[in-house]
Homo-oligomer: A and B are copies of this chain.
Amino acid sequence: MYFASDNSGPVHAEVMQALARANEGFAMPYGADTVMDEVRATLRDIFEAPDAVVHLVATGTAANALALATMCQPFETVFCSPTAHIHEDECNAPEFYSGGAKLTIVGTDDKMTPDALHAAIEAEETRGVHGPQRGPVSVTQVTERGAVYSLSELKALTDVAKGFGLSCHLDGARFANAQVTLGCTAAEMTWKAGFDAVSFGGTKNGCMGVEAVILFDPAKEWEFELRRKRGGHLFSKHRYLSAQMQGYLAEDLWLKSAKQANANSARLLAGLRDVPDFTLTSAADANLFFATLPRATHQRLSAAGAKYYVLAGDVEVGDLDEQLPCRLVSGWSVSEVLIDQFIALAKG
């Protein structure tokens, strides 16, 4: 019963097999492996972007920070949601990689609204050389609170950015989960919606550690490569990044896996809705949601070995009826049996 994070599950058998296949003889290092050529072509096909720059790194933080550093100057500010991973969970990596750029928080909601974005960008307008300059807009899809922007919502955000001449980055650590929710194409959710760069996640959805950075403007390719190298993110034995992505993309594994994860989350939520004192406190558009449950329920679940984050309060000590907030993330590998067992335990 593991609902702590989608980064705690195992690697797909298909990805492990791709790694084993890649482990034959010698291969050119540093991204010159032939598997990477195939991966690049596949991602360009998937994104319907024949000229896109495609590079692999091993972590989502590296993907986001390198993409943003390539898109902005150190005297600029990046616009993002208060719950953005780049703001809350990367220990200043974007500030580090950009050479000291700022992050400007847009509004107070998990989901950025066009009005809040417009207001935030406009507010940086009047100070000339004194204030940070307007830099790229970064949107997280799926958000860290479980929401998925619709295509029109994405477009409305990038329209605001474009109106100010700003570029747009999509943090797609859970890209596949969002795409499954929307039932759209990868192109529709990215460049057709106005995005210039994407962090395309693999790790959370069944890879070992690989994310693709896709830049739709080929002009920045060499700069990106240099920034990746000086960040220590260029793998010598790159074929093992390539192979992960190869296995992940083959036969739509990435979409199937996300579909399973989303279905697991939906099953969990449906079951919990019948639990007395369960309250959903966030969106549940993909494979994670936030909720409150009484302390007694948390104790029962914990005692049975369930793993997930209780976000405030002491599970062990206090009023048994007190509602404590928690986060529940369902990966592709969580079994229906364990989901149902979790629900049953929650029911008491």
Contact = CB atoms under 8 A, between A and B. Distances in A.
B96 A130 contact: no
Interface stretch (A19-27, A180-188, A190-198, A290-298): A19-27
Interface string A225-244: 11101111111110010000
24 contacts: A5-B29, A8-B28, A8-B29, A9-B26, A11-B23, A59-B233, A59-B236, A61-B229, A73-B226, A74-B96, A74-B99, A74-B230, A88-B127, A89-B131, A92-B102, A100-B230, A129-B226, A203-B236, A203-B237, A204-B236, A208-B240, A209-B235, A209-B237, A231-B232
A192 to B, nearest CB: 28
B92 A101 contact: yes
A345 interface: no
A65 interface: yes
B23 A16 contact: yes
Given A74-B92, A100-B230, 20 more contacts: A8-B26, A10-B26, A11-B240, A16-B19, A19-B208, A26-B307, A65-B232, A74-B95, A75-B227, A75-B229, A75-B230, A88-B130, A89-B127, A91-B229, A95-B95, A95-B100, A96-B230, A96-B231, A209-B235, A231-B232
A154 interface: no
Interface in A92-127: 92-93, 95-103, 105, 126-127
A237 B129 contact: no
Contacts of A203: 236-237
Contact of A91 (B75, B96, B99): B75
A201 to B, nearest CB: 10
Nearest to A309: B126
Interface size class of A (residues with CB under 8 A): 35 or more
Contacts of A127: 88-89
Among A10, A57, A225, which residue has the most Cβ atoms of chain B within 10 A?
A10
B20 A8 contact: no
Given A100-B99, A307-B26, A233 B232 contact: yes
Interface of A: 2, 4-5, 7-11, 16, 19-20, 23-30, 57-63, 65-66, 73-77, 88-93, 95-103, 105, 126-127, 129-133, 203-204, 208-209, 223, 225-227, 229-237, 240, 307, 311, 333
B232 A57 contact: yes
A99 B125 CA distance: 25
Contacts of A126: 311
A68 to B, nearest CB: 11
Nearest to A235: B209
A253 to B, nearest CB: 15
Top 9 closest A-B pairs, CB basis?
Answer: A62-B232, A7-B236, A99-B99, A61-B232, A2-B26, A95-B100, A91-B230, A96-B100, A75-B226
